[in-house]
Chain A
Amino acid sequence: MDFQAILKTVGILSLVSAALSVIISIAEGVLNNYGIVELDINNGKKKLQVKGGSSLLSTLASEKIFIPSACGGKATCGLCKVSVQEGAGPLLMTEEPYITPEERKQNMRLSCQIKVKTNMKLLIPEALFNIREFICELVEIEDMTYDIKRLRMKLPEGQTIDFKAGQFMQFYTKPYGKVKEEVFRAYSISSKATEKDHLELLIRLVPNGICTTYVHTVLKVGDKVRLSGPYGDFYLRGDCEELIMIAGGSGLAPIRSLVYDVIEKGLPHKMRFFFGANTLRDLYYVDEFEQIEKDYPQFKFIPCLARPEPSDNWQGVTGFVTVALQDQVDTGEGKEAYLCGSPGMLDACIKILKEKGFTDETIFYDKF
């Protein structure tokens, strides 16, 4: 083949492909232009004006709503499910293998497969659409007891977090000492939900715990801390008259947030907070809760010491929280229970609560 023929071949191929590309681009501009459409998320809670024509997954991502997806929109992982109430069109062949009949009834769709063409109504779990990553600055670190530290972190300038009182964050460590890799652990938020530019966590030192050792020995004020969240479905339902709150150790964190939530929203619920500890030196935030008790008669704080030292001079309830529950809670009627603590303590409490008439629908807990 001579040089001229090669030139001709290349020329003609480029010419034809260029012409076809131009035609396709024009067609795309005309046919794939759906203008600005509105995405209604969670029944009007959030309305987004977006440009139509791309997949729902990428459209949401460009609006900073991150739907989990592992395959990047190829319909092979089936993770990016979103409930689309209106505007998605019929179920596609590519979606069928991933959507169970149950999910079909809830209008679950693979967001990577459906295209945004008209106004859509979506239901996205609140949690999902709120989860973000924050690089915070540690501004305070305080010993609450001999083994529990309170961490106060400032969110990056201009960023805020919306969480429901009771939810938790993932806390990421940095490699330190012999620990070569990053680990993350979940800790409940103890600060008020209305305080959107700071987060507080209560972290108890677990012997040999990678993350808690990091927090108790390495971390210092001024350090950058990586958090993600909020996660979890431990939050106030409030479909009752009285809230029975039970916590042990650092399980106080979400309860503190919940108590402030009820008070700040001016909700009418009565609250009783049973806080279990071993000895007086395990108790913390006592002054604060006693002050709340004085200011808001709807709230009662009941610390229980299992094994008070003689030197503690303990006047309050002696024994496990379960003893106090048995004595002081008469029935489950009109009540919801919120528990946070170690599995052993929780299981014992839940057993008693169920005997009193609480059900799975009125007991909410966070085990750790």
Chain B
Amino acid sequence: MTPNINPLIIFIASIFTSNMILSNFLGMCSYLSVSSEYKTANGLGMAVTLVLVLTTAINWLIYTYIIVPPELYYLQYIIFIMVIAALVQILEMGLDRYSPDLHAKLGIFLPLITVNCAILGVTLFMVIRHYNFVQSLLFGLGSGLGWWLAINMLAAMREKLASAKLPPGVKGPALSFIITGIMAMAFIGFSGIFTIQ
């Protein structure tokens, strides 16, 4: 039942045409909250990408070899979340050790990657779409890079606009939403290339 799609197409599509944030609107909370500073946003993007690649790989293996054979499909959500939580925990310890500055800046949003919809979203898409291992891996990596790209663009623009003279009603969260909306429209331009669903 695996769809016959070139994994590279999945990879490119998940970055541009099926971007997690800009076309699926998943993982919005940290995207909006941690995008006021480019450096921090970049760090979170990297962390999310790393977690996405690892969780899709591990969850694919667990799903295929542990959940499917006994047909315990109803266990998938709890197990996926457990795997994500454990990975984030480990990532947090690693960051605290090797990049305490980034760890401090990400603060509460680091453990909150656990409940980042984009992460569980990618895992569930992969299950629904019956991707094989390579497809899943590239889908995870692509989605992560797409999320990273989107938050970096938003953060860069917000940093530039921080000193801009804007009407008071547009400042702050409103501005983030407007930028995101415009970016999403711009990304529709990619959808002519190819889409995955």
Query: Hey, which chain B residues are within 8 Å of A23, CB to CB?
Result: 86, 90
Complex interface residues of chain B between 66 and 82 (CB less than 8 A to chain A): 66-67, 70, 72, 75, 78-79, 82
B132 interface residue per 8 A CB criterion = no
Mark B54-71 against chain A: 1 for CB-CB distance below 8 A, else 0. 000000001000110010
Q: Does A12 contact B (CB under 8 A)?
A: yes
Inter-chain contacts of B89 with A (CB < 8 A): 24, 27
**A345 interfacial contact with B, CB 8 Å:** no
Contact (A27, B75) CB under 8 Å given A20-B82, A89-B101, A93-B107: no
Do B104 and A90 touch across chains, with their CB atoms under 8 A apart?
yes
What's the least CB distance linking A115 to chain B, in Å?
7
Distance (whole angstroms) from the CB of A23 to the closest CB of chain B: 6
- Cα A117 to Cα B103 in complex, Å, equals 13
A:5-26 near B, CB below 8 Å: 5, 8-9, 12-13, 15-17, 20, 23-24
Determine the chain A residues whose CB is within 8 A of the CB of B94 once the complex forms: 27, 31
Cβ of A92 < 8 Å from any Cβ of B?
A: yes
Contact B93 A31 (CB under 8 A): yes
A28 at the interface (CB under 8 A from B): yes
Chain A residues with CB under 8 A of B93: 27-28, 31-32
B67: chain A residues at CB < 8 Å are: 12
With beta carbons under 8 angstroms apart, the residue of A8, A16, A24, A92 that contacts B90 is A24
**Which of B78, B90, B105 touches A90 (beta carbons < 8 Å)?**
B105
Q: Is the CB of B107 within 8 A of A92?
A: yes
Which residues of chain B come closer than 8 Å to A115, judged between CB atoms?
A: 96
Q: How large is the interface on B (under 10, 10 to 19, 20 to 34, 35 or more residues)?
A: 20 to 34
Chain A CB within 10 A, most for which of B67, B89, B94, B97: B97
Complex interface: chain B residues within 8 A of A17 (CB): 82
Chain B hits for A20, CB < 8 A: 82-83, 86
Majority SS at the chain B contact face: helix
What class of interface size applies to chain A in its complex with B? Answer: 20 to 34
| Interchain CB contact (< 8 A) of B86 among A24, A31, A91 | A24
Complex Cα gap A5–B74 (Å)? 11
Report the separation of the CA atoms of residues A117 and B82 in the bound assembly, to the nearest whole angstrom: 28
B181 at the A interface (CB under 8 A): no
CB-nearest residue of chain B relative to A23? B86
Q: Does A160 interact with chain B (Cβ within 8 Å)?
A: no
Q: What residues of chain A lie closer than 8 Å to B101, measured between beta carbons?
A: 89-90
B100 beta carbon closer than 8 Å to chain A = yes
List A103-123 residues whose CB lies under 8 Å from chain B.
Answer: 115, 117
User: How far does the alpha carbon of A5 sit from the alpha carbon of B75 in the complex, in Å?
Assistant: 12
Q: How far is the CB of B111 from chain A (nearest CB, A)?
A: 12
Cα A23 to Cα B62 in complex, Å, equals 15
State how many angstroms separate the Cβ of B168 from the closest Cβ of chain A.
25
Minimal beta-carbon separation of B137 from chain A (angstroms)? 20
Which residues of A are found within 8 Å of B97, using beta-carbon distances? 31-32, 34, 117
B83 contact set on A, CB distance < 8 A? 16, 20
In the complex, what's the smallest C-beta–C-beta distance from A113 to chain B, in angstroms?
A: 10
Judging by beta carbons under 8 Å apart, are B75 and A12 in contact?
yes
Taking the closest CB of chain B, its distance from the CB of A225, in whole angstroms, is: 46
In the complex, residue of chain A having the shortest beta-carbon distance to the beta carbon of B108? A93
Interface contact B72-A12, CB-CB below 8 Å: yes
Complex CA distance for A52 and B90, rounded to whole angstroms: 17
Give complex CA distance A188, B195 in Å.
Answer: 81
Cα–Cα distance between A359 and B86 once the two chains are bound (Å): 62
Contact A8 B79 (CB under 8 A): no
19 additional A-B pairs beyond A12-B75, A31-B90, beta carbons within 8 Å, are A8-B72, A9-B75, A12-B66, A12-B79, A15-B66, A16-B79, A16-B82, A23-B90, A24-B90, A27-B89, A27-B94, A28-B93, A32-B96, A89-B104, A90-B104, A92-B104, A93-B107, A117-B96, A117-B100
Q: Would you list the 4 A-B pairs with minimal beta carbon distance, nearest first?
A: A93-B107, A31-B93, A20-B86, A90-B104
8 residue pairs of the A-B complex, CB under 8 angstroms, read A9-B72, A16-B83, A24-B86, A24-B89, A24-B90, A27-B90, A27-B94, A94-B107
* Interfacial residues, chain A to chain B (CB-CB below 8 A): 5, 8-9, 12-13, 15-17, 20, 23-24, 27-28, 31-32, 34, 89-94, 115, 117
| B residues with CB within 8 A of A | 62, 66-67, 70, 72, 75, 78-79, 82-83, 86, 89-90, 93-94, 96-97, 100-101, 104-105, 107-108
